[in-house]
Structure 1
Amino acid sequence: MRLYPIETGNFKLDGGAMFGVVPKSIWNRTNPADSNNMIDLAARCLLVEDGERLILIDTGLGNKQSEKFFSYYYLWGNHSLDASLKKYGFHRNDVTDVFMTHLHFDHCGGGIQWNKDRTGYEPAFKNAHFWSNEDHWQWATNPNAREKASFLKENLLPMQESGQLNFISPTTECFLEGSELGFGILFVDGHTEKQMLPHISYKGKTVVFVADLIPTLGHIPLPYVMGYDVRPLETLTEKSAFLNRAADEGYLLFFEHDAHNQICTLKHTEKGVRFDEVFTFDEIFND
């Protein structure tokens, strides 16, 4: 088995929204804002190669939305999903499974693309099974007013219409049961209903794709919860349990949204769990 970080692009979001009740004078130290109060973010995915399976965790924003839509998110940098796959010798047609932590547009938008004549949409991974869970799918396709702008029907319905959509049971503790791949799932509900966080056993370590439970290194302290979360008090409970276990067991946290830090370890301190060491993917998994 091998893992590869897939950089699909960079964007920006409002720093205040990203840190909720935490004052800018504090969060600006770790996630400095620009003149528009926007902070740098990544759409970093993870590719898992295991035998004949090639599993992509999340897909980034994609490129099918309008220029006006993308203008809200200040796209920057030169990364792309296709270029990142090519770097490791892969093409999107090689992907066998697309695992979606949740269906907000910045996590699943790259899974669907325009068809050839731009009259409709089609899966961007024509040979892949798309994986969500039924509770989250119902939540996303019948969205509440708070999240409606993040659940875009053009990102969702083509998955179902293609016949490539599959559901994982919330009682499932291991993705692709029966496989030798050590790929566990933690279900969390604070950010959105039934977000799925992969836990992958790799080279004697547990790598956790922390998605939107802990978007960046700056979000590790317990009260640092996004304003986007639908159940912030539940996020606090989920974060506390996860952070303590991660520190106890030496998990490697793989950040999806931190534009400047890929992986970190944690430690217990008098102020609670904090980051210990920060690594690039190559530094910690250098062959």
Structure 2
Amino acid sequence: MNLYPINAGNFKLDGGAMFGVVPKSLWSRTNPADSNNMIDIAARCLLVEDGNRLILIDTGMGDKQSDKFFGYYYLWGDDTIDKSLARHGFTKDDITDVFMTHLHFDHCGGSIQWNKNKTILEPAFKNARFWSNKDHWKWATQPNRREKASFLKENILPMEESGQLKFIGLPEIDLLENSELGFDVFYANGHTDKQMIPMIRFKGKTICFMADLLPTAGHLPIPFVMGYDTRPLLTLDEKEKFLNMAADNNYYLFLEHDAHNEIITVQHTEKGVRLKEIYTCNEIFN
């Protein structure tokens, strides 16, 4: 097995929204804001090469939205999925599976693109299966008013229309061996219903793709929960459970949205689970 970080592009989000009720005087110590109160955010995806499978976890925002849409997110840097894949010798056509942690636009938007004439929306990965789960798919296609702006039908419905959409089974508990994809999945419901956190066994380590359960290293304190979460009290319990597991088992936490910290480990302290070490992907994957 080989793992590759795939940067789908960087953007900015409001620091207050990213930290909910936590005062700026606290969260700005780890995530400094610019003059517009915006903080740096990455869309760091993960490519898993396992035998003849190439599994891409999340796909970023994509590029099919309007300039007005992207103007809200202050795009920065020049990374794209295509450039990142090419850096490792791959193209979109090589991808066999796209695993979506959840269907918010900044996690799945790159899965669908315009055709050459910009007349039809089509899968950006024509040879891949798109993986979600039935409960989250229903949640995303019948969105509540809180999340409606994050579940964009142009990102979601073409997956089903293409015939490439697949669902993994939901467990009786929140951790299972997913034999179809070859890694474990932790289900978290506080941010959005049935968000999936992949847990990959790699060279004696467990690499956890944290998605929006832990957006950045600055979110490690349990009360530091995003204003975007639909059920923040549930997030508190899920974060505490997962971070205790991570500290107990020395999991390596791959941070999708932290623009400056790629992988971290955590440890138990008197204040709760806190940062232990920071690594680059090269240090862990090579």
Is there any run of 5+ residues in structure 2 with no aligned partner, and where?
A: none
Which amino acid letter does the alignment assign opposite residue 237 of structure 2? T
Provide the residue aligned with 1:175 in structure 2. Answer: 178
- Contact between 2:2 and 2:285, CA under 8 Å: does it hold in 1? no
Q: Corresponding residue for 1:88?
A: 88
1:123 aligns with 2:123: yes
SS of the residue corresponding to residue 173 of structure 1 reads strand
Partner residue of 1:273? 273
Cα displacement (A) at 1:175: 2.8
In structure 1, what is the equivalent of residue 132 of structure 2?
132
1:219 corresponds to: 219
C-alpha distance in 1 between matches for 2:253 and 2:156: 28
Which residue number in structure 1 is paired with residue 230 of structure 2?
230
How many pairs does the alignment contain?
A: 283
Q: CA deviation at 1:5?
A: 0.4
| Aligned-residue offset at 1:94 | 0.3
Q: Map 1:57-76 onto structure 2 (within 5 A).
A: 57-76=57-76
1:128 Cα deviation after fit? 0.2
**Paired amino acid for 1:58:** D
Structure 1 vs Structure 2 CA RMSD:
0.9
User: Secondary structure at 2:118's aligned position in 1?
Assistant: coil
- What secondary structure sits across from 2:64 in the alignment? coil
Matched position secondary structure for 2:18: helix
The answer to whether the 8 Å contact 2:219/2:225 transfers is yes
SS in 1 for 2:31: coil
The 8 Å contact of residues 44 and 256 in structure 2, kept in 1 or not, is answered as yes
Deviation at 1:116, TM superposition (A): 1.8
Deviation (angstroms), 1:99: 0.1
Shift >6 Å, 4+ stretches: none
What is the distance in 1 between the residues matched to 2:82 and 2:92? 7
Q: Deviations over 1:21-77 (max 9, x none)?
A: 100000001000000000000000000000110000000000000000000000000
Tell me which residue corresponds to 1:205: 205
User: Could you tell me how far apart the structure 2 residues matched to 1:277 and 1:147 are?
Assistant: 34
Match of 2:51 in 1: 51
Provide the secondary structure at the position in 2 that maps to 1:236. helix
- CA deviation string 1:78-102 (max 9, x = no partner): 1110000000000000000000000
Aligned to 2:29: 29
Rounded Cα–Cα distance in structure 2 between residues aligned with 1:130 and 1:214: 23
CA contact (8 A) 2:4 2:285 kept: no
State TM-score, norm by structure 2.
0.98
User: Separation in 1 of the partners of 2:76 and 2:85?
Assistant: 19
Distance in 1 between residues matched to 2:72 and 2:262, nearest whole Å: 25
User: Does 2:101 align with 1:101?
Assistant: yes
- Describe the SS at the equivalent of 1:242: helix
Q: Which residue of 2 aligns with 1:13?
A: 13
Give, in whole Å, the separation in 1 of the partners of 2:159 and 2:284: 35
Deviations 1:81-132 (A, max 9, x none): 0000000000000000000000000000000000121112000000000000
Distance in 2 separating the partners of 1:154 and 1:52? 30
Q: In structure 1, what residue type is equivalent to 2:211?
A: A
The separation in 1 between residues aligned to 2:38 and 2:97, in whole angstroms, is 33
SS of equivalent to 1:221:
coil
Question: How far apart are the structure 2 equivalents of 1:9 and 1:141?
Answer: 25
Q: Distance in 1 between matches of 2:161 and 2:179?
A: 23
